[in-house]
Amino acid sequence: ALCILIFNHYFACGWYFIGSHSDPENNWVVANLEDTSDGFKYATALHWSLTQFTPAAMEIHPYNLPERIYSIVTLFFAMITFSTFTGSITANMTALRKLKSEPTRQQKVLQD
């Protein structure tokens, strides 16, 4: 979970960088956060990044081509990460069920 949070930090920083250094007239930073503090800008970028890794929604969206490309790359990385994380949880749950059922199976064999 900490690894995912670190990834989200880097994606948030990249999202803010792309927004603040791409088209100066038409970007997500100018459209949504023009008169806000740096802390609020970072929190908004982190919130955007977290929504890419989860099935959540947010009103921040890309306004130009570089932002759109960054958003797509982030989304692909998030899908792979989320799928891997879900798969590992599923594998661990299956292993736990198998461990739990083994003593029951052995006890049944001894009784027969």
pLDDT one-digit tens code per residue, 21-76: 988 889 999 988 888 999 999 999 999 999 998 888 889 999 999 999 999 999 99
d(CA 79, CA 37): 31
Contacts of 57 (CB under 8 A, 6+ apart): 51
The predicted structure's pLDDT at residue 86: 84
CB 10 within 8 A of CB 48: no
Q: Please name which of 87, 68, 80 lies closest in space to residue 27, comparing C-alpha atoms.
A: 68
Q: What is the value of pTM for the model shown?
A: 0.75
Coil/strand/helix, residue 91: helix
